[in-house]
């Protein structure tokens, strides 16, 4: 069974631009969560989708948004990029909707210049 | 590889020794806890989990201990191997939502 895939793996953007990252969960997994990882803040929860609905949202500004499609694939969007948005963005999928093992993708490294 | 954390606490152990990695969690109501391993350039990888109604769980070469009184988790790795070198994170959650991760500990296995 294929793991969680994320595209692109690396991305360089300029301040003020917007970016869309994509995540394909493991087949059959309906829950997709997004995280931001930085050396200073560690791993921080962005949001979680289950069956195309955002169930939970972390403490990030409204510039960060996401969605999930009927095939469980998910995208996250960051608008008006800031230098501080440079990070590794990780997607994780899980089978259960109440706890359970999360499987992480390799992440997308976003650099904002 | 990706820089996970520049100033993480580091635990150095000799190959073959046992490792103990500690984590303090924040929410006394959390009901599910997970340990992850993250190698350079990769996403976190599930190691072992434990629910709040347990205080110990064993896997292959790994044991997780949960002390709810002091909100403390530990991960014990038996007979540590070079391949165990990585950053280890604990995570807590309530009802499987809003996972909160610890800052991580870098494990370095010395030959």
DSSP three-state, residue A85: helix
- Confidence band (pLDDT; 50, 70, 90) for B97? confident
Mutate to test the interface with A, among B36, B41, B96 (most CBs of A within 10 A): B96
CA distance A41 to B5: 9
User: pLDDT tens-digit profile of B37-87?
Assistant: 999 989 999 999 999 999 999 999 999 999 999 999 999 999 999 999 999
User: To the nearest whole angstrom, how far is the Cα of A72 from the nearest Cα of chain B?
Assistant: 17
Interchain pair A56, B97: CB under 8 A: yes
Stated as kind and residue range, the H or E segment containing A11 is strand A10-13
Assess whether pLDDT exceeds 70 at residue B25. yes
- Give residue-wise pLDDT tens across range A43-94: 999 999 999 999 889 999 999 999 999 999 999 999 999 999 999 999 999 8
The percentage of residues in chain A with a pLDDT greater than 70, rounded to a whole number, is 95
A86 touches B at CB < 8 Å: no
φ, ψ (nearest 5 deg) of residue A83: -55, -35
The distance of Cα B111 from the centroid of its chain, to the nearest Å, equals 22
Interface of A with B in 30-59 (CB under 8 A): 33, 35, 37, 39, 42-45, 48, 55-56, 58
* pLDDT confidence band for A98 (50 / 70 / 90): low
Q: Do A106 and B31 touch (CB under 8 A)?
A: no
Q: Which residues of B touch A35 (CB under 8 A)?
A: 99, 101
Question: What would the two tokens of residue B81 be?
Answer: 């191997």
């Amino acid at each position: 069974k294929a793991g969680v895939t994320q595209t692109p793996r690396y991305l360089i953007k300029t301040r003020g631009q917007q970016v869309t990252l994509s995540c394909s969960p493991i087949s059959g997994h309906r829950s997709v969560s997004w995280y931001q990882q930085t050396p200073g803040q560690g791993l921080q929860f962005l949001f979680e989708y289950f069956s195309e609905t955002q169930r939970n949202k972390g403490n990030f500004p409204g510039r960060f948004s996401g969605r999930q499609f009927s095939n469980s694939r998910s995208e996250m969007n960051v608008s008006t990029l800031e230098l501080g948005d440079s990070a590794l963005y990780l997607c994780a999928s899980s089978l259960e909707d109440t706890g359970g093992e999360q499987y992480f993708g390799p992440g997308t490294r976003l650099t904002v210049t | 590889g990706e820089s996970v954390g520049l100033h993480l606490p580091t635990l150095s152990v000799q190959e073959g020794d046992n490792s103990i990695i500690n984590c303090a969690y924040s929410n006394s109501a959390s009901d599910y806890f997970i340990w992850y391993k993250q190698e350079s350039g990769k996403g976190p990888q599930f190691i072992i989990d434990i629910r709040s109604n347990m205080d110990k769980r064993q896997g292959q070469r790994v044991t997780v201990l949960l002390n709810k009184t002091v909100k403390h988790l530990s991960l014990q790795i038996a007979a540590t191997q070079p391949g165990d070198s990585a950053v280890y994170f604990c995570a807590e959650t309530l009802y499987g939502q809003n996972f909160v991760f610890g800052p991580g500990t870098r494990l370095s296995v010395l030959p």
